[in-house]
Structure 1
Amino acid sequence: MLPRPATNGFAIGSLVTGIVCCLTPLGLVLGLIAFRQIKKKGQEGRGLAIAGTALSVVGTILMTVAFTTGGAAGFGDGLRDAADESARSRSTLNLRMGQCFVTPHGVEEGTETASVPVVDCAKPHDGEVSGTLPLHTFGEWPGESAIESEAESRCEDVNNAYALDRWAVPETAGTYYYVPTRDSWRFGDRTVVCAFVATEGKLKSSVRSDRTTLDPAQLAYLESEQATDESRWDEPEDLFDGEPDANRTWAALMAMSLEEEAGALRAEDWPIAARKSALARAKEYDAASEHYDRASRALEEGEFWEACAEADASLMQATEVAVRSALGLATEPPAEPGDADHGGEEPQEPLPGDSAHNAIWTPAGVPPA
């Protein structure tokens, strides 16, 4: 395979200087040099040179008009405004957990984004970074599909850990991620940025609810609920009649998880206001655990589903609301609960988005049914 021709350095320089208003004459010179070298050496970069030369011509004309008409009086103010905006912006490679940002041009499918302005999470914003993931398992560029698959499965865990109180996450907050592009990979980009992004309107406040924002009792309760939810999400896709062994195994795991979390609830040192409702929740876990244990030993399909239904009926949403209210957590269940008896969320379809790092938004996976 023949090596790919190098990109002409003067073409790159022409584009860069053509963008910087005070250097546009230099961009014009560099563009002309680039054209000659590209033709002579067979290098790539003609498109960059064309763009840089065009920007340089326009910039030079505008500078001339500004200085001859007195319009340059506000030139310094413009530079200061640009510097302020630059200081507030972060490369998508450098976004960090807890930062909120805005996307001036919206979140569009297939759009590459080099940087975004970071803002206070108390102000309206488009997204909030929930964490970053290193991609050290890949040596060479693995392709977009491989990276997106890795990001989809791992960002789900990152977002769940960042926003333990799922009831407090707005319905308009979708789970997305930034992944490296082929070009950014060449420059050492090996990081996935996971985030919550507003699918419509703006996010009004932070969605963060983890060890940095919760007190010990709130954390203990939410981690207990999340543990049982994660076990529930592992339910086999095939029904009992197609995969009886897999369904029985899942029921056994549910029984074990509920029993373990019931013990954790009883062991916690609850505030007086929350103790009664928390212990009531532990009893519901015990009851549900017994039903799932029965389901794990079911020989007939009808017996299996009857036991599972009784397990779900044991987990009352009213009890969950009571614990949450006593602990100062969100008390309004999701708009579309998967089960009115226990207040679990029904998994939503992935939201449309873009893919990449320096840019591309791609919707991260949601817990499977």
Structure 2
Amino acid sequence: MPESILPPKPTGPSYQDAPPPPPQPKTNGFAIASLILAIPALSLMLSIVFGFVALVQTRRDGRPGKGLAIAGLSVSGAWLVVIAVSVAVTLSGSDSVFAVHKGDCFTTESSTTITRVACDQPHGDEVYAVIALPGGDAYPGEETLAALSRDYCTGEQDAFFVNTSPPTNLVMAVYYPHEAAWRGDDHSAVCTLESESGGLRNPVVH
């Protein structure tokens, strides 16, 4: 019989001899810290600093964490926008209409919230009287306060325009406290001259 010819035995290391895969690099710790510190909005500066440190390190050594760093910076940026808007609103002069004084000018934000402005700037209302309303802690009722405030403001308007007549483009506006404001110690009627078009640009001549 002819002898069988077997293929040569492969040489080299077998699969059992293959080296183990290299360990995966750990996620950058600064990136993790940046995202965690951004969430409570109490440590924004640390979050921003750690985020930029993580971006530099991950770019240099290739370790994972770039996405976490970007997320931390994004959350911190969103918080900064919220804080900036809140500060701008606070500094803009928004106030309760019951905190004004005679001679103040303002634009209305809501039924009881206003933004005070200089009277030589565009505005809708000029205060000509602030009158303390009688009554104790018990709320007199909306109808009672409305009628009382209107009577007081009408009398004060007559006294305000002693030498001139009220401009035809202005109307009397009366602000009186609702129940919650009354219980919060706002016990005044605010009398204003209001431009229906919001086009007042100077103090009202009287």
TM-score when normalising by structure 2: 0.57
Q: 1:132 to 1:79 in 2, by over 3 A?
A: closer
Q: Which residue of 2 aligns with 1:84?
A: 91
- Counterpart of 1:190, as a letter, is H
Match of 1:153, SS? helix
The separation in 1 between residues aligned to 2:205 and 2:79, in whole angstroms, is: 46
The separation in 2 between residues aligned to 1:170 and 1:199, in whole angstroms, is: 12
Q: Which residue of 1 aligns with 2:57?
A: none
Please say if residues 147 and 179 of structure 1, whose CA atoms lie closer than 8 Å, have aligned partners that are also in contact.
yes
* 1:191-202 correspondence runs (5 A): 191-202=188-199
Q: Which has the higher strand share?
A: 2
Q: Which has the higher helix share?
A: 1
Pick from 154, 160, 163 the counterpart of residue 161 of structure 2: 163
Please say if residues 98 and 186 of structure 2, whose CA atoms lie closer than 8 Å, have aligned partners that are also in contact.
yes
The separation in 1 between residues aligned to 2:77 and 2:94, in whole angstroms, is: 31
Q: Which residue of 2 aligns with 1:93?
A: 98
Q: Which residue of 1 aligns with 2:149?
A: 151
Q: 1:189 to 1:72 in 2, by over 3 A?
A: closer
Pick from 67, 76, 99 the counterpart of residue 74 of structure 2: 67
The separation in 2 between residues aligned to 1:163 and 1:66, in whole angstroms, is: 59
The alpha carbon displacement at 1:132 in A equals 1.1
Q: Which runs of 4+ in 1 moved over 6 A?
A: none
Please say if residues 105 and 125 of structure 2, whose CA atoms lie closer than 8 Å, have aligned partners that are also in contact.
yes
* 1:217-232 correspondence runs (5 A): none
Match of 1:195, SS? strand
Pick from 176, 179, 196 the counterpart of residue 176 of structure 2: 179
Q: 1:77 to 1:141 in 2, by over 3 A?
A: closer
Q: Which residue of 1 aligns with 2:138?
A: 140
Q: 1:162 to 1:208 in 2, by over 3 A?
A: farther
- Equivalent residue pairs, number: 139
Q: 1:163 to 1:83 in 2, by over 3 A?
A: same
Please say if residues 132 and 191 of structure 1, whose CA atoms lie closer than 8 Å, have aligned partners that are also in contact.
yes
Identical-residue share of aligned pairs (%): 23
* 1:266-345 correspondence runs (5 A): none
**Residue deviations 1:66-110, cap 9 Å, x none?**
73485556556434423322xx223222111000000145xxxxx
The alpha carbon displacement at 1:200 in A equals 2.1
Please say if residues 41 and 79 of structure 2, whose CA atoms lie closer than 8 Å, have aligned partners that are also in contact.
no
Gap regions ≥5 residues in structure 2: 1-39, 43-70
